[in-house]
């Protein structure tokens, strides 16, 4: 994941743990929403899934471009529990014959994938389950019925989109390494209990960002066992 997003997520978790250790809510569940804005998600998607020249995803290229399927310019948006990914699509199909391409077919348009984000409580992998797919022509008109070309290419595109994920396990594990030394020896047992109770909650998508709710069980530190900033 991009360094910026990883650092932001790690710092947010660290602040959450420190604040929780001081909270007067012993034994109660506390929640912290962590925001991942769509601009950062777009950057991550391009970095991991649009890695071909010009920040494209070249899913098919044969016969010197006679057979080509390319995705460009991805954009995330969202609302309620669903996020949408809109990406431009370029298709060129024909029959390669030597240096020629017989009966070429070319199409430009876009594809909108609606997905439900899920955060696995064990692996901390943030994945996106596709629930709907829409195709639009170059002028933005919705294509209601798919021809044979799209019926064959859609699984290839959907598989590529479905493979995108964000691995949050590293910042969660790194948190244990640098946060525990911030507590006095007497407080570290309780701090570790708080760390062990961290778990993902509901994910909310709004128009600008994805909000991941993180839960933990607050544990009041013993008198005299307070966190000490390094």
Distance of alpha carbon 6 from alpha carbon 147, whole angstroms:
42
The alpha carbon of residue 100 and the mean position of all alpha carbons in its chain are separated, in whole angstroms, by 41
- Amino acid 74: pLDDT: 95
Mean pLDDT by 10 residues, the chain (230 residues): 55 61 61 85 92 94 93 91 93 90 93 92 88 91 77 85 83 70 76 80 89 78 45
- Amino acid 221: pLDDT: 52
**Residue tagged 């933005």 (tokens):** 140
Nearest to 115 by CA among 166, 152, 72: 166
- Amino acid 153: pLDDT: 85
The pTM of the full predicted model, rounded to 2 decimals, is 0.76
- Amino acid 1: pLDDT: 47
Distance of alpha carbon 44 from alpha carbon 49, whole angstroms:
8
Distance of alpha carbon 108 from alpha carbon 98, whole angstroms:
25
Which residues on neighbouring strands pair with residue 91, listed in sequence order? 69, 107
Q: Which two tokens stand for residue 230?
A: 């390094």
Helix (H, G, I), strand (E, B) or coil at 216: strand
Distance of alpha carbon 73 from alpha carbon 14, whole angstroms:
34
- Amino acid 6: pLDDT: 55
Distances (CA, A) of 132 to 54, 85, 105: 27, 11, 26
Contact 211, 35 (CB under 8 A): yes
Q: Which two tokens stand for residue 153?
A: 């290419």
């Amino acid at each position: 994941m991009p360094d910026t997003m990883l650092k932001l997520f790690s710092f947010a978790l660290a602040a959450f743990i420190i604040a929780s250790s001081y909270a007067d809510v012993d034994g109660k569940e506390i929640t912290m929403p962590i925001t991942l804005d769509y601009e950062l998600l777009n950057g991550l998607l391009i970095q991991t899934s649009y890695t071909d020249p010009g920040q494209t995803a070249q899913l098919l290229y044969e016969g010197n471009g006679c057979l080509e399927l390319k995705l460009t310019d991805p954009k995330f948006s969202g609302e309620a529990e669903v996020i949408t990914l809109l990406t431009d699509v370029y298709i060129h199909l024909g029959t390669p014959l030597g240096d020629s391409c017989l009966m070429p077919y070319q199409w430009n348009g876009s594809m909108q994938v609606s997905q439900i984000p899920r955060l696995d409580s064990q692996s901390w992998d943030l994945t996106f389950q596709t629930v709907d797919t829409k195709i639009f022509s170059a002028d933005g008109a919705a294509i209601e019925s798919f021809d044979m070309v799209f019926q064959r290419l859609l699984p290839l595109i959907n598989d590529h989109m479905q493979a995108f994920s964000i691995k949050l396990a590293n910042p969660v594990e790194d948190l244990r390494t640098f946060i525990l030394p911030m507590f006095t020896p007497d407080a570290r047992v309780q701090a570790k209990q708080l760390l062990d109770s961290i778990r993902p909650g509901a994910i909310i998508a709004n128009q600008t960002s994805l909000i991941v709710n993180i839960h933990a069980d607050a544990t009041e530190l013993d008198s005299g066992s307070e966190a000490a900033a390094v």
